[in-house]
Amino acid sequence: MYNQIAGKRLPRIEALSDGVFSIAMTFLVFNLKDPLAATPATEEALLGALWSIAPNISSFFLSFMTLGIFWTGHSTQFDYLERSDRNLYWLNLFFLMFVALLPFTTSILGGHIDNKVAVILYWLNILALGLALLLHWNYAYRKKLLALDETNAMQVHKAIRQRIIYAQAFYGLGAALCFVHPFLSLVVIFAIQLNYAFGIFSRK
Amino acid sequence: MYNQIAGKRLPRIEALSDGVFSIAMTFLVFNLKDPLAATPATEEALLGALWSIAPNISSFFLSFMTLGIFWTGHSTQFDYLERSDRNLYWLNLFFLMFVALLPFTTSILGGHIDNKVAVILYWLNILALGLALLLHWNYAYRKKLLALDETNAMQVHKAIRQRIIYAQAFYGLGAALCFVHPFLSLVVIFAIQLNYAFGIFSRK
Amino acid sequence: MYNQIAGKRLPRIEALSDGVFSIAMTFLVFNLKDPLAATPATEEALLGALWSIAPNISSFFLSFMTLGIFWTGHSTQFDYLERSDRNLYWLNLFFLMFVALLPFTTSILGGHIDNKVAVILYWLNILALGLALLLHWNYAYRKKLLALDETNAMQVHKAIRQRIIYAQAFYGLGAALCFVHPFLSLVVIFAIQLNYAFGIFSRK
Amino acid sequence: MYNQIAGKRLPRIEALSDGVFSIAMTFLVFNLKDPLAATPATEEALLGALWSIAPNISSFFLSFMTLGIFWTGHSTQFDYLERSDRNLYWLNLFFLMFVALLPFTTSILGGHIDNKVAVILYWLNILALGLALLLHWNYAYRKKLLALDETNAMQVHKAIRQRIIYAQAFYGLGAALCFVHPFLSLVVIFAIQLNYAFGIFSRK
């Protein structure tokens, strides 16, 4: 009986998700530490210190965009959701688990930006986010938890699925480039994200 | 007079709860620290460092599931709540107190995963969460703050109570196993949580 | 013109407030640090370490109750608010400033629990919270931003004002006791909070 | 197709924004650290320690006001927003990126309060916030995403634009004063903020 009555409150899962996203986004700032904290420093020394944490600052922006992209995707799915059940709750919670993990994989990346292991770990986090989001949509679609009329349904379903699959294919390619050079990999992943943020090369 | 006018805003207590849950969930990531932070490291060294914090990573997932389970339970109760009073506010605040405490007991567990004291402390936190949630429901039921029609009321009441009591019985058994071996205890607790997350062995 | 169009969105100020409260509540846990982090420890050593941070654990509970009390008070005021203007926005923001500051004054208290300066600093934070909440209510009442009918208005106004003034008088007395002994002071403040949480000695 | 269906959920972007703002506001407290943590200290020593972090405490208040001002501005824009699209989502996300960054630039400022680089970095953060907010409004206005009738539209548009541009002009002047003395710069920026918070010299 409990499993039938649990997990039906759609606004709550959305509120929790916005909470986890906004916290994970703001947590990224913790990877930015003043290397000269509490030490008197000349202007040159402070500029140098800021320059020395450039990899951390770059990965702050990279991860903020990552979270922004997945948050937009999550928000789009909820625009169609009409009902929920406890399985959907849990698929969403697994998705949020990997949202909450991103500040950690970001800190590893910021600290070891030329290290293949760090790039692959970061990519695995992105992959987990994509898979969880895809499972979440597929489940909602299959269980008819969506508010979609017949004519529209297939089109929206395909658009959402393809977006996730294409993006993950690009991310996978980007990550594979780390075997050429870790830095190249990050540049390509960043370019993919800029494309998705600004919607430049996407089919309208 | 003040006690009659205070504590009646149901959406606020729900918003606060989602806030505390989402923050506690995301805070768990702070127990994951790069052991080689800011030190240049070879790929092997970084893999080794990640492996060395495997207990912390495991307890991150364990605690995320713990919070997910109690958040689902909390959300289910609010699906039936119709009104609130200040006592219910405070029962909820005590529940949230132990939600906020979980990142601490998790960090103790992650740092001392083979230590009976750490396992028992973690279990005490789970026990406090269960008790607070049970008190919260019982109070709401007794004070008729719920929106339940007669026919349904007893059934829902029993389902929600039994879920909490059974789960706590299992957790208690799992915790007791730490006197055999702390690690065994954690494996069993984790298995209980997987069961509740996926609803495998629960009576439909 | 700008000052007339700004600050009118009541749900936003409430959402921001719940955010700041839930974060400040959960932040209190950061004052709890495992003194033996990442060091292998016997069961006795771990128990001893937990005991050594008992002042921090106590001040975690103390401050969670402080925040719970002021959050309940804040929520009660918003139950009557009908409109907002930008001055009310800013009175609320100043209130939140001191909510956000409490984890800091709590950490000072937890680290120096037998120090008069720590107790007085903590009390100043409570005093600032009380004053800001009183100003917030008085402004809303004077500017007729409340949804109160004539017959009710005076009664609610008096109940809310008296609650804040009486509570602050008790806190002030409690704080003054630190000149006898800092610890006595904290025990009395804690007793006052338990009274307000459980509503034992309050006039119904 | 995906770009047409994404980014339409106005309450979500507002919830995420309130989340990021409330977290960034509360995060500022992490720049306040007890210099004598866990060391027994006399009353004089503790007062001295608190005095030694006065620059950090000042920048806590400064940044809380900064965030309060931009949050009020953000809230005012949303009072007129009627619809959203994915570009508006992303303009908002870029704005939030610089909200999330403020605790970092604040910590640099608190640690090096007499350093030109720290003041300019802080000012750049304020500038980025202002620009993002201006772009956000201009886009919404141009794309007719606002709920404004003809007679009102121009007036509101001008009021919101002018507020941002004037404020940024003042901030720019204040920042330029750091070439006279960094501290003078901060005093002027703080005075500008007090003026905006209390609305003293602003045209009604």
Question: Which tokens is C4 given?
Answer: 């007339």
Indicate yes or no: CB of B19 within 8 angstroms of CB of C18: yes
Residues of chain B contacting A112 with CB distance shorter than 8 Å: 36, 40-41, 46
- Looking at residue D71, its pLDDT comes to 92
Indicate yes or no: CB of A2 within 8 angstroms of CB of B38: no
- Looking at residue C203, its pLDDT comes to 44
| Helix intervals (H) in chain C | 2-5, 10-27, 43-52, 54-80, 86-111, 116-142, 150-176, 182-198
* In a domain? residue A204: no
Q: How confident is the model at residue C62 (pLDDT cuts 50, 70, 90)?
A: very high
Q: How confident is the model at residue B102 (pLDDT cuts 50, 70, 90)?
A: very high
Percent of chain C with pLDDT over 70: 96
Q: What is the pLDDT of residues C180-193, one digit of tens each?
A: 998 899 999 999 88
Residue C179 distance to chain B (closest CA, Å):
31
| Identity of the amino acid at C33 | K
Indicate yes or no: CB of B159 within 8 angstroms of CB of A1: yes
* Burial tier of A37 (Cβ tally within 10 Å: 0-12, 13-18, 19+): middle
Is D100 an 8 Å CB contact of chain A?
A: yes
Using the predicted structure, report yes or no on whether residue D174 has a pLDDT greater than 80. Answer: yes
Give the C-alpha separation, C100 to C21, whole Å.
Answer: 8
Of A3, A89, A99, the CB nearest to B204: A3
What mean pLDDT is predicted for residues C32-50? 84
Give the C-alpha separation, D73 to A57, whole Å.
Answer: 27
Question: Which tokens is D144 given?
Answer: 């007719």
* In a domain? residue A70: yes
Using the predicted structure, report yes or no on whether residue D72 has a pLDDT greater than 80. Answer: yes
Residue B69: closest CA among A3, A99, A18, A24: A3
Give the C-alpha separation, C186 to C191, whole Å.
Answer: 8
Residue C1 distance to chain B (closest CA, Å):
32
More confident of the two residues A68 and D10? A68
* In a domain? residue A33: yes
Contact C134, C169 (CB under 8 A): no
More confident of the two residues C130 and A26? C130
- Looking at residue A203, its pLDDT comes to 45
Is C23 an 8 Å CB contact of chain B?
A: yes
Percent of chain B with pLDDT over 70: 96
Is D87 an 8 Å CB contact of chain A?
A: yes
- Looking at residue B98, its pLDDT comes to 95
- List the single range of A156-170, B58-72, B149-163, D105-119 with lowest mean pLDDT: B149-163
Of D37, D61, D75, the CB nearest to C9: D75
Q: What is the pLDDT of residues C71-98, one digit of tens each?
A: 999 998 988 898 888 889 899 999 999 9
Of C15, C25, C76, the CB nearest to B15: C15
- Looking at residue B200, its pLDDT comes to 57
The residues near C110 (Cβ < 8 Å, ≥ 6 apart) are C31, C55, C56, C58, C59, C60
Residue C162 to residues B7, C130, C134, D170, Cα–Cα distance (Å): 17, 11, 10, 43
- Looking at residue D149, its pLDDT comes to 78
Cβ neighbour number for residue D194 with a 10 Å cutoff: 11
The residues near B149 (Cβ < 8 Å, ≥ 6 apart) are none
Q: What is the ipTM of this complex?
A: 0.87
Query: What's the whole-model pTM score?
Result: 0.90
Using the predicted structure, report yes or no on whether residue D19 has a pLDDT greater than 80. Answer: yes
The residue of chain C with its CA nearest to that of B111 is C38
Indicate yes or no: CB of B115 within 8 angstroms of CB of C43: yes
* In a domain? residue C203: no
* In a domain? residue A74: yes
Using the predicted structure, report yes or no on whether residue B203 has a pLDDT greater than 50. Answer: no
Q: What is the DSSP string of B109-158?
A: HHH-TT-HHHHHHHHHHHHHHHHHHHHHHHHHHHTT-B---HHHHHHHHH
Mark the ranges of chain A whose per-residue pLDDT is less than 70: 1, 38, 199-204
Q: How confident is the model at residue B154 (pLDDT cuts 50, 70, 90)?
A: confident
Indicate yes or no: CB of C19 within 8 angstroms of CB of D23: yes
Indicate yes or no: CB of D1 within 8 angstroms of CB of A155: yes
Supply φ then ψ for residue B11, to 5 degrees.
-60, -30
Q: How confident is the model at residue B31 (pLDDT cuts 50, 70, 90)?
A: confident
Total number of domains constituting chain A: 1
* In a domain? residue D204: no
* In a domain? residue D69: yes
Q: How confident is the model at residue B38 (pLDDT cuts 50, 70, 90)?
A: low
The residues near A152 (Cβ < 8 Å, ≥ 6 apart) are none
- Looking at residue A168, its pLDDT comes to 93
Using the predicted structure, report yes or no on whether residue D97 has a pLDDT greater than 90. Answer: yes
Of D18, D41, D60, the CB nearest to C19: D18
- Looking at residue A201, its pLDDT comes to 53
Indicate yes or no: CB of B116 within 8 angstroms of CB of C79: no
* In a domain? residue D149: yes
Residue C180 distance to chain B (closest CA, Å):
31
Q: What is the mean pLDDT of chain B?
A: 88
Indicate yes or no: CB of C112 within 8 angstroms of CB of D198: no
More confident of the two residues A133 and B31? A133
Using the predicted structure, report yes or no on whether residue D150 has a pLDDT greater than 70. Answer: yes
Contact C65, C193 (CB under 8 A): yes
Give the C-alpha separation, C19 to C96, whole Å.
Answer: 10
Q: How confident is the model at residue D200 (pLDDT cuts 50, 70, 90)?
A: low
Query: Coil, helix or strand for C39?
Result: coil
C7 φψ region: left (φ > 0), alpha (ψ -120 to 50), beta (else): left
Residue A29 distance to chain B (closest CA, Å):
13
Residue range(s) defining the domain that contains residue A137: 2-198
Query: Coil, helix or strand for A38?
Result: coil
Q: What is the pLDDT of residues D98-142, one digit of tens each?
A: 999 999 999 999 888 889 999 999 999 999 999 999 999 999 999
Question: Which tokens is A41 given?
Answer: 């420093």
- Looking at residue D168, its pLDDT comes to 93
Residue B51 to residues B55, B183, C105, C154, D35, Cα–Cα distance (Å): 9, 17, 37, 65, 34
Residue D194 distance to chain A (closest CA, Å):
26
Residues of chain A contacting B75 with CB distance shorter than 8 Å: 6-7, 9, 12-13, 89
